[in-house]
Chain A
């Protein structure tokens, strides 16, 4: 069972309450596809991912980015039971989508960079540590049902 300090709980709620999900989700996924191009293998049906500009303008990438971020919201609202919250999604990613779990870390790093860009100086070292701990728990839960 993950132990969260009061600071960590408050910080996670604060970060996500101020995030523009419609911007951050697409931005994080787009960044992941550009910075780690091998992740594009999972989006063969998304059309033109030929270069950074194409990825940034791709409506399917944008839509999926929002799906991912709203999925993250579930963990924000269930911080004391992230493992069970993601049990189904974990099976989906392993059995159906066949996503290499290392990719979760890559997307999580891109999300951290996007949030850092949004929050600027408010994204202190302590806030970063809290966010990365939260994302590490999410990543671990998503990887749990893999065999």
Chain B
């Protein structure tokens, strides 16, 4: 399900709008990942606080959205653009790629709460495709 030119344009336009809230989106999405899919917490057993106001969660959310920003800038070749991040996730972090889909869903939910008028069904499908392709690129180096 590759990205069409229309998908890319829609994602870029939506990103331009939500970019200023990126840090908040990241932290909130991570918190939702932990509450809705508690198995995801195993990757963060080194943190004492996994609450929505936790400094660790907020900082990490910011980092994650930095990755999303990178992906938007490399939208024409996500596999190449996210190669380093893929290697990090595959060899160091060893995150089960199933979690990428779960976090993608949480990111969409956060955007829905903050920008309900902008996440129309048409925008939703483009963003869902983008996040799926991002997740695939992130899984590239796993095996």
Contacts and interface: CB of A to CB of B under 8 A. Distances in A.
B35 interface: yes
A34 B125 contact: yes
Q: Is the interface of B mostly helix, strand, loop or mixed?
A: helix
B116 A128 contact: no
A3 to B, nearest CB: 14
A5 interface: no
Contact of A34 (B112, B113, B121): B121
A125 B32 contact: yes
Interface residues of B, number: 23
A54 B5 CA distance: 22
B36 A113 contact: no
A126 interface: yes
A146 B120 CA distance: 33
Interface in A116-147: 116-121, 123-126, 128-129, 132
Interface in B98-124: 105-106, 108-110, 112-114, 116, 119-122, 124
Contact of A35 (B31, B106, B121): B121
Contacts of B108: 113
Interface string A75-105: 0000000000000000000000000000000
A35 B125 contact: yes
A56 interface: yes
B35 A34 contact: no
Contacts of A31: 121, 124
Interface of A: 30-31, 34-35, 52, 55-56, 109, 112-114, 116-121, 123-126, 128-129, 132
24 contacts: A31-B124, A34-B121, A34-B124, A35-B121, A35-B124, A35-B125, A35-B128, A52-B120, A55-B121, A56-B121, A112-B105, A113-B108, A113-B109, A116-B110, A116-B112, A116-B113, A117-B116, A121-B113, A123-B109, A124-B52, A125-B52, A128-B106, A128-B109, A132-B36
